[in-house]
Structure formats: C-alpha cells, structure tokens
Structure 1
C-alpha cells in the first residue's frame, strides 16, 4: 500500500523548498512550523543513540523535524542508512521536554517510541533489496507483507518491545485504512495483511482482531482469506536477505487475488468506512487490553514497592532493636555490678544480690560431669571425601583396573579411574552459648538457691568445655541485674540473690542476653533458659513473646522452667515443670547438652 511505505528505496526525497512552493501555489499563507527544526536536532541525535540497542546497528542516522519528506509519520531509507521522524509524534511535548537519551523517558511518549521501534525493526530486518526490473505491483505486495514480518522478527529479538509495537499499530495502520491506495478486494486484502498479519506475528491478540477478521471473510470469502493467511504466515518465516522468496510470496499474493476476483461478489461501496470502523473496534479492544495490562502491572509494581518498603521498615526496625539491645547489654553487664532501670540508668537503691560463696563439692562435681557431657555432645566425627583418579596416589581398585585394561584393549579411550584417595577432615567443635533469665519477683523465692547453683555450674562447665563458650545470667523484675557476665573465664564463686521485686521486664533481659551471647547468630549451641511463673501483665507478656519468637526463628532453643503447677506458659518456649527446685541444675544441664548436640 503506497500510504504505508516505511521503507523508501530512493536516495532522495522532496526538499523543503518544494513543500513551501506548493503552499505558494494554492494561495495559502506559508506553513509555520510548530517549533524550530533546529530544536529537534538534539532529539534526533538522542533517538539515534537509543536506536543502536533497538536495531543492533551503529551506522544509522535519525533525522527528527516537523513533517517528513516522505509524508509518512516516519520512514527508513536503506541506502542512506537514515530514519526520518516526524516531530509531530511527540505532540504536545516541545523539544526541550523530550529526552530520549534517558532510559525510561519513552514512557511519556509511547506512540512516538512505538513508531521508532517499528522503523528500527525495518532497519534490522528489511535488508533484502528490490530488483531493478521487479514489477511495481509485486514490490507493493512484498512491502505489504514486510510490515508484519519485520515486527514479528523484532519481537523474537526484543520481546519486551511488544507494548510499543502495539502502540505503533494505532499510529501507522489507521492512516492506511482511511486513505487506501487500493479499492475493492485488494483493499480488504491489504487491511487483512496489516491487522491479521500482526495477529499471527504475535503483536495483536486474536480476540482483539475479530471485527476485522469477520469483515474480511465476508468480503474476501473464507477460502481466499485462508490462502492469504498462509502467504503472510510463510512470509514471516522468510530470511531477512532473501529477496527472491519475498517476491515469490508477493507473486503468490497477486495470483491469489487475480484468481479469486471473478468469483467474488462486488465489494461494498462503503468498504473504506466499514474497514475504518472495524479497525477502530480493534484499536478500542487493544486500548482496553493495554489499559488492563497497565493496571495489572501497576498493581504488581505497587505490591513490589509496598513489600520493599515493608522490608526497609523491617530492616530499620531490626537495626533499631539491635541498637537498643546493645545499649541494654552495655548497661546491664557493667563492671560495677549495679542494678539498672528500664531506661538503662543505675538504680539508686535496691539490689537482689546478697553476696557470694564458694562452690560446694557437689557443685564442682556437677560442673565436671556437665563439662564431660558437653564435650561428648560437641564431638563431631571426621568427614571423609572420596576421590578417584586414573593415576596414583590412592588405593588400587582391581575391578576398575581391569576395566581400564579392557578399554585399552578395545582401542577406546580409557575412562575408568582405578585409584581411590580418601581425604579426612576434622569437623570443628561448636561452642556453647547459654543465657539464663531468672524472675526475682516475690513469687519466685524458692528458685533463688537452685538457680544460683545452676548458673555457676553451667558457666564453669562451659568454660572447661571450650574456650569460646560463654554463659550469662540476669535476674529481672522491673529492673535488671547481671549475676554472671558473658566472659570466657569461669566464675570462681557462686553469686547468691533474693527474690523480692515487683513487676517484670523479661523483654529487656532477653535483649541483653541476646546481644551479649549472640543467641540469634547460628553456628553455636544456643540456649535461653527462663525461670519464671509467667504471671505477667498483657504488655509484659507481649514484649517477652516477641523476643522469644525472634530467637526461636533464628534457631535458638528457649526453655521455661516452672516450679508450681499454677505457673503459666510463655508461648514459644518449651515448658519444663520442676516439682523440686533442687532439680533445676540438672534440668538446665540436660537442656544445654541437647542444644549443643543439635548444633550443625
């Protein structure tokens, strides 16, 4: 179709003086450009820079100015390696508002960018040359088939450009339908090639083109439409340089129209209006589908942005929690042994620590037994790595050696590897991290002695087991007091304390133990023991459960020791009821052994 010549075979085109002369001839005032042509030179240069990625060619020049020499919105001149581009496609944007060099700027002018993508497809794939003696009608038919062929080829190379190719169809196809170069049967066949050809190339959806397909079938007949469909489908598979095959398809196209014309009824007189209406329906369907796709993509983008924002807030919240935990740990594990308030300041008076004493012989014996149990639980057998090779060193496998000899005798390349080498490596022994948080409110007086003894036993056994093992104990009511600190040295004396406090601050106690012992970091045997009856307010329970959930998610075992049947269970912990407080040291020792045994 002559109105759709986006590939210009001539080297020259009418110049601007001739255009202005035509205005002078009809008596109208000279045409005034909407903006200075020189202002669009930069836009053309930037379009040329982006064209390298679109077309895969670096020798192309883009000329952008108001109006084009060819009369089409854009055109490609193969012999000049030039694409001319009508600046009117950017309306209402002015040249200073168009920045194609910025990736993503094209989203502000999708119609203009779609036309550039279409011309880039011509530049990349319309490389077959028209023979000098080719019939003009065959060339017209070949160029008609070329429109959907090059877009299909471009879509294979750059599938993400489909949206812009759909947009360009609205800009390029409608003028060709409204101003046909053919009439009758050839006009309907041209519309079918432009619309249905793009459907079969994957640019348009089948449901969008139903109106044009039905009208073309009514005008052309089902048999002729099927024949023409086969021709443009075959043209889609034609190589870019194969001019002979393209002209052969064009010859088949013309023959099919000539053969079917006598048997077809006369085309409707208002065929142009009917085709324009059908194509308008296609464009409306495309616009609706594109709008739905944009809405869906926007929803996905919003969901991704919301998720990213939530992750950012979560990371910021975690960072804030780590800073607060570090400040709490620093204030609790102070060198003066003072009790601190929830805000981290020293408590002016009152301390649950009553003194210290020498460990008893039973406690020392229990620490030695626990140390041996921890070492046994932490032991990891050496790993073995078996490798085979065709040459020594290694242990000879006779079966593989015979197989290798048989392969040589058969004249094939030997693949058997008769030597086996075993490499043994020692597995590192995981250290232990045990944090003990003991409730020193008035209802926990019976646990003071056993927990003090258990804290010393665990700390002593951990130090004897591995120099990198650490333990710490915090007594908490509303305030926090460090009974033992997370050092590598075993305590010499047992710290004794009383339980006569009020309220509870288990959340801050867990934060201090977590930061001081790295309970959230994998690679060690980690255990948090909470000795409490859990008779808390709702706010105190929520603060504690949040920390417990964070630790269990990180792989730290959390054990709650209770002394009375009336005690409540903290969600997320493993409850262990001790009818006799004196059994607390043995229960904590067993839990610590299980924790280090589970470490991998």
Structure 2
C-alpha cells in the first residue's frame, strides 16, 4: 500500500539562496538548523513510536521537508515514518526532547501529526493486491484516514486532543489544493471531516458547516450512502484488504452513479475551504477553552496542594510548640512559666494545698460510679451460620438443605447458627480544665480547685488509663494538677490576681498532655472564664477550640456572671452560684464518656 498523500508546499532555503549574502558585505547567513541536527529528535521520536504503535521495527526520520512534500508520511515498504521538522517551528532541535513524556504538550500540532502516522503504522497493515485499480486504492486510502484514527482511540483515548490538532495540519492543505474535482472533492472532504466526527475525533457541532455544505452539494441520499460506506470501513479489520477495497469500490460506484446528475458550484473549492476553516476554527476554540479549563483546574489543584502543605506544616509547627508548652507547664517543680516557656519568678497563683473534705470525697465517689456506668458497654453479639456444628440447629434451614440435596443441586442452606459474644472495651476519660485567674474570676477559684480534685480522683478510680489535668492561666501558665494516672492526694488552692490572658497556650498544653485531639476516649475541655479578652487573645483561643471540636472533643465554657462573653464553639453554661461548678463539670464529663463510641 502506497503512502497516503498530504499536499503541502515546502519552503526551506537551499545553499544557493544562502550564498547570495556572501558578496553584499553582510555576515554570512547561518541556517536555523541542519538535517544532522534533527537526527536526535528523529531517534527519540522512534523511541516514543514503540508505545504509540506497538511496533519495534520502524525507523523515524526527521528532517526539514519530506520526499513527497507531505507534512509526514508512513511508508510501509520501507518500515519508515517520515516527519517534516518544519512542524516543530519555531522550536529548534536543542529545544525538543520527545523522549521526555509530557514534552509533547509544547508542540501539540506536530505531535498530533506524529500520532496520526503512528495510527497508520499500527493499523494500515493491509496490502493492495497486484493489478488493483489505482482509483479504488486511492479511495481506500481516503477511507483509511479516519479508520486508523478511530482504531487508535480504542487503545489510546487520551490521544484524542492531539488528533484534533493534527486535523488542522493534515486536512486543510488537501482542501485548499485539491487533487480531486467536483463531487469527488466534496465527497473526500466529507470523508476527512465527517469521518473523523463519526469516530469521535471531532464533535458534531463543530462539523456542522461541512455537513450542511456537503449535503447541499452531494444531496441527502448520496451523503447518506457515503456515510454508510465510511462507517462500515471503520469496522474493517487491519489486515482485511479485500473488504477495504470492496468499500472503496462501492465509494467509486456511488460517485460515478451520481456524477452525471449532481450539479456542482463553480466555486466549490472556495466553499469547501471556508466550511473546513469554520470547522477548524471551532475545534481550535473548543481546544483552547478545554486547555484553559484544564490549566485552571491544574492551578486550583496546585493551590489546594500548596495550601494543604502549608496547613500541614503549620499544624506540625503548632504540635511542636504545644509539646514544648506542655513540657514547660507540667514541670516537676510546679513553677509558673511565661508565654515563651521560661520560668516566671513572680505571679504564681497557687496559695497552697489542703486535705479534701468529706463532701469532696463523697462527690468523687459518686462521680466515679457515674463514670463507670456511663462507660459500660453491652457485649457485642456476632452471629454466623455454617452447614456443620457447632451451633444451634435451625430446622427450616435443615429441611431446605435436605430438599436441595434431594433435588440434586449443591446445598447452600446453612442450618447451624453460632452466636459469639465479646466484651466491648470501656473508653477511658480525658478531662482538661483551664481556669482564668485574672482578677475578675476570683469567685471561681475555690469551687474550681475542688472540681479539679474531684474529677481527677473520680477518673483515677474509674479507669487506670483515664487522665485529667488543670491549668491556671492569665498571661502566665501554672499547672494545678498534672496528667498522671495517679489521683492527687491534696487539693491545690489558688487565687486570681493576674491580668491579660493566654488561653491559647493553655489549651495547647492540655491538648498535648491529655491527647484531647485523639479519638478513642471520652474527651472534655472545661474553660472557666468570663472571656473578657483582647481581640488577638480571643482569636487564638477560638482557633484552638475549633480544632478540638473538629476532632470530636467536647468543649464547655463555665461563666459566673451574666456579663460574660461566649467563646464561639463552646457550650456555654452560666453558674450564678460558683459552688455548683463541680457538679456541672462532673455532669459534662459523664456526658462526654457516654457519647464516646
């Protein structure tokens, strides 16, 4: 089978043209590139051709111009794909690296032509018999153009965008400089454009101009006949030369029958060129819109990935700072620390310790029982069936199995039911208490100190894995109780004399020390404050609270006066009587462990 023909003039300067500059005083002209410079590009194209065509026996030659003047050509008899280096303009050989996957996006039109030739190399493998009618062979090659592209799309659908660009390079020269005349020219245009539409290269809306013009020139019946022929050719096997030539003969017969009766406009070439130009403009606009949408999606994905990376980095930095804060706050010496973690020589709110009262011990015992009751989980039952013991016999399933066996079918009924019961682990408790020790919160000091001891004692009695901790904060942080498995023996008392606030760092220390952000435990953060903060202090606290609530940790805010501010994200509980704070905290802890799955 001879190579298909894409008619395109070649305009490469020869040595005689360049030599004219030698005698006019100007520097000698240098050629932009030489055939030798394209050897590497051709070799790399050959490497990529293996994946595109599935063949390893082909040679790709890339040089300025081709032997038959076409942009590219597949020559089966030589096992060669010729490629015009001019398709890469304005790129130079040292700028082109086809071996790198993705480099083709820099020259989509050239790559589209190369993909088209790869489709020929993979699927144009039938050979014309000796003595075949040249006109019939040319018709077969015309039908072959869209057939091979459709076959290529089956195995490489992502190459569609390149085949769309190649249509502009390959089809337009054939339309503007036709070798056929009259209705044969219109029929060839229909085969090249509408055939690509029917294999999914071009869209129906994009080809409307050519479809309407060809219907006017060829007539509805002839166009329908030709459409049926190229559609049938699309289903032809790659090696089936007989069927392909039969379709080509039918093509010629249909044109010969209609030629005497079908009038042809005098300016048919111009009309077809304009119609095809409209198609190509439409495809170019569609491709540009798709490319812009793809670029926007890529930019959005990159921006999202960058934001996620920055967020992960910020979270990691915050975790490191929280760990450092927790280490400095829960120090073994019980000292107060500044915002930067250094010891504060002044401002420690702790006034001493005392023995717990009988009422506090009773409250801790009651809370412990309530926590155990809330943490209790019923045993999980798992039922399974089997065709053999052990298990309880289900008579209905047994009779069904006997019936299946008597009918000669494979028994599927499983008459034995086994119930397995296993205990569900009780979740531990994590409770963090952050108490504001600025001067406006002095009334909360005694009840919160009592509540901190009661909760810590009850948690230790409930589950050895439960932990609680309490921090007093103003601008400095002081640990009242530490996140250990042992309950404190004495109640730590403190006073509220500070100014300003540092709730954000207090939450970080409690979160890291008690793992309030990690699921698997009943988690509760109690903030005792009136929330009269500066805007920056409030913003830092709200950010930490949102992170905890997103992780599933309950956050309770206890206030003592109606003038208190509500921290967004917390459950606000107003306590007109400060002495009720231990009861409120105990109830919130019980609810938290009850909600734990």
Residue 273 of structure 1: aligned partner: 270
1:547 aligns with 2:563: no
TM-score by length of 1: 0.92
Residue 212 of structure 1: aligned partner: 210
Structure 2 CA distance for aligned equivalents of residues 123 and 373 of structure 1: 80
Aligned 8 A contact 2:171 2:192 in 1: yes
Residue 493 of structure 2: aligned partner: 496
Structure 2 CA distance for aligned equivalents of residues 107 and 138 of structure 1: 38
Residue 376 of structure 1: aligned partner: 373
For 2:242, which of 227, 236, 244 is the aligned residue? 244
For 2:199, which of 198, 201, 204 is the aligned residue? 201
For 2:182, which of 181, 184, 208 is the aligned residue? 184
RMSD: 2.3
Deviations 1:293-323 (A, max 9, x none): 2112111111111211221221122122212
Aligned 8 A contact 1:2 1:140 in 2: no
For 2:306, which of 306, 309, 324 is the aligned residue? 309
1:5 aligns with 2:2: no
Task: Determine helix, strand or coil for the equivalent of 1:589.
Answer: helix
Structure 2 CA distance for aligned equivalents of residues 57 and 392 of structure 1: 61
For 1:363, which of 339, 353, 360 is the aligned residue? 360
Q: 1:83 to 1:423 in 2, by over 3 A?
A: farther
Residue 52 of structure 2: aligned partner: 54
1:147 aligns with 2:154: no
Deviations 1:142-164 (A, max 9, x none): 11111111112222322211110
TM-score by length of 2: 0.92
How many angstroms does 1:269 deviate by?
3.5
Deviations 1:88-144 (A, max 9, x none): 222222222211111111111111110111111112222333222322221111111
Unaligned runs of 5+ residues in structure 1 are 7-19
Structure 1 CA distance for aligned equivalents of residues 398 and 127 of structure 2: 65
Q: 1:69 to 1:423 in 2, by over 3 A?
A: farther
Task: Determine helix, strand or coil for the equivalent of 1:299.
Answer: helix
Aligned 8 A contact 2:521 2:596 in 1: yes
Structure 2 CA distance for aligned equivalents of residues 332 and 121 of structure 1: 71
Aligned 8 A contact 1:128 1:240 in 2: yes
Aligned 8 A contact 1:432 1:470 in 2: yes
Structure 1 CA distance for aligned equivalents of residues 366 and 532 of structure 2: 34
How many angstroms does 1:264 deviate by?
0.9
Structure 2 CA distance for aligned equivalents of residues 100 and 428 of structure 1: 61
How many angstroms does 1:79 deviate by?
4.2
Task: Determine helix, strand or coil for the equivalent of 2:336.
Answer: coil
Residue 251 of structure 2: aligned partner: 253
Residue 454 of structure 1: aligned partner: 451
Q: Show the 5 A alignment for 1:525-564.
A: 525-564=522-561
Q: 1:60 to 1:385 in 2, by over 3 A?
A: farther
Structure 2 CA distance for aligned equivalents of residues 363 and 577 of structure 1: 22
Residue 300 of structure 1: aligned partner: 297
Structure 1 CA distance for aligned equivalents of residues 502 and 160 of structure 2: 61
Aligned 8 A contact 2:137 2:245 in 1: yes
Deviations 1:513-571 (A, max 9, x none): 11111111111110000111222222222221111111111100001111222222211
Aligned 8 A contact 2:352 2:492 in 1: yes
Task: Determine helix, strand or coil for the equivalent of 1:422.
Answer: strand
